[in-house]
Amino acid sequence: MMGDALHRRDEVLTIVGAGPAGLSCAIALARAGRAVVVRERQPGVGHRFHGDFQGIENWSDEVDVLDEMEQAGLRTDFDHQGFASGTAFDSRGRAHVLRGSRALFYLVRRGPQSGTLDHALLCQAVQAGVEVRFRDNVRSVDDPGVLAAGPRVADVIAAGYVFDTDMPDGAWLALDDRLAPQGHAYLLVHRGRGTVASCMFSGFKEQAHHVAATVDFLIAHAGLVMRDAPPFGGYGNVRVARAALQGGHPVIGEQAGFQDALAGFGIRYAMRSGLLAARALLGGQDYRVLWRRELLPAIRAGVANRFVYAVLGDTGRWAVLARLDDVDAVAALRRLYRPTLISSALFPLARVLRRRALRDRSCDHQGCRCVWCTHGDAAASSCVGDT
Ligand SMILES: Cc1cc2nc3c(=O)[nH]c(=O)nc-3n(C[C@H](O)[C@H](O)[C@H](O)COP(=O)(O)OP(=O)(O)OC[C@H]3O[C@@H](n4cnc5c(N)ncnc54)[C@H](O)[C@@H]3O)c2cc1C
């Protein structure tokens, strides 16, 4: 069990997966003097991403997320840009300007390239003395270590384009089930590069239709202009883990299902859970106790929020957006994400109904060739079972 591994400082710790979760954990362990090997099945980091922009959310906590990273010993030397405002459209096409008293989120790039979050964390890990082995597809882990292999099933998908543009920098969001069923469409532009996508929590089979509708909408409402625009896509796994332990190994990041169930902002969860696992291994603490105390309340609130979001429908979401118009959006979103008595009370029902909602009725699974019906990549789940 995990406890035996804790007291043997000479033992090499194995981490499966070189995403933000695995690398954050590896950096913290190596800086504390432990020998760490990260095993990554791809030829480099960030191969599940395409140079697309993502946002590290900065509203769920009082502490700015970049300060949180620095305090935890993770350097923020990746390309990033804080966005303190953005435009959100409701399903009537009405624009609401969201303004925060500080950055609402930090725009980062994901992928293998220099300057991405993934590449920066890799460099930090190597500098800290971590050995990273690429093209190493792990099937099982006997050594003491941590599982960080990313999503195992597709509960949410995002698909769209990365592109060059002359548009000014900006962030746009659209809450409209015709563009992104039960999710959101987004457009992020920074220094001549852009990402546009439909992030869907349902209706995966109609992906191409939703992406086309998203592009048309943002051309009309945000002046979207794209050049050299290859398509991209990806999936995410939202789950409330039972123990987040497998074979005694802490399971972190999306492999444990740690995600923002409302909107899919999983990066902060990935890094936090990686740091928690490192703390557990270094300090002889029970990882289950740590993640349940530090992450579970927010995960449950996210599941409850997702339930409310589904119930509200497009019409109810107009009202929510309208309430964000003239207030500090960071504070308003923090209130929304904060665990409350109401979210606790809603959680059991929301959890059951969420599972039911994930059964995609648009697919009969008969002779289906749709990638989402395989629910992700079987290889990714080969070293893991139910956590
Ligand atoms: C299109 C898209 C947009 C997103 N946008 C946002 C956003 O704006 N903000 C946000 O916060 N989050 C966003 N997310 C979610 C975020 O990217 C993830 O939550 C985060 O990357 C999870 O980190 P992780 O380390 O747990 O997993 P990953 O980043 O998936 O890393 C897991 C690693 O494990 C490796 N691996 C898998 N199986 C094995 C194996 N058997 N052996 C060895 N290695 C293995 C994989 O190759 C991968 O490198 C988005 C996700 C997608 C797909």
pLDDT at 375: 40
pTM: 0.93
Convert the pLDDT of each residue in 239-268 to its tens digit: 899 999 999 999 999 999 999 999 999 999
Convert the pLDDT of each residue in 16-47 to its tens digit: 999 999 999 999 999 999 999 999 999 999 99
Q: For residue 319, is pLDDT > 90?
A: no
What number is the average pLDDT over the span 109-127?
98
Radius of gyration of the chain (CA): 20
Is the CB of residue 149 below 6 angstroms from any atom belonging to ligand 1? yes
Give the span between the Cα atoms of 292 and 288, in whole angstroms. Answer: 6
Give the span between the Cα atoms of 150 and 270, in whole angstroms. Answer: 9
Is the CB of residue 96 below 6 angstroms from any atom belonging to ligand 1? no
Contact 179, 54 (CB under 8 A): no
Identify which of 38, 48, 207 to mutate to test ligand 1's pocket (most ligand atoms within 8 A of the CB).
Answer: 48
Distance 39 CA to ligand 1 centre (A): 15
- Which two structure tokens, joined as six digits, stand for 277? 């696992």
Is the CB of residue 145 below 6 angstroms from any atom belonging to ligand 1? no
User: In this structure, what is the dihedral angle of CA atoms 340, 319, 199, 64, given to the nearest 10 degrees?
Assistant: -50
Structural domains in the chain, sorted by start: 2-79+108-150+237-295 (3.50.50.60), 156-235 (no CATH), 299-361 (no CATH)
What number is the average pLDDT over the span 86-94?
95
Is the CB of residue 158 below 6 angstroms from any atom belonging to ligand 1? yes
- Residue recorded with tokens 């599982």: 147
Contact 105, 57 (CB under 8 A): yes
Is the CB of residue 254 below 6 angstroms from any atom belonging to ligand 1? yes
Could you tell me what percent of the chain has a pLDDT over 90?
75
DSSP assignment, residue 231? E
Convert the pLDDT of each residue in 143-183 to its tens digit: 899 999 999 888 899 999 999 999 999 999 999 999 999 99
CB atoms within 10 A of CB 375: 18
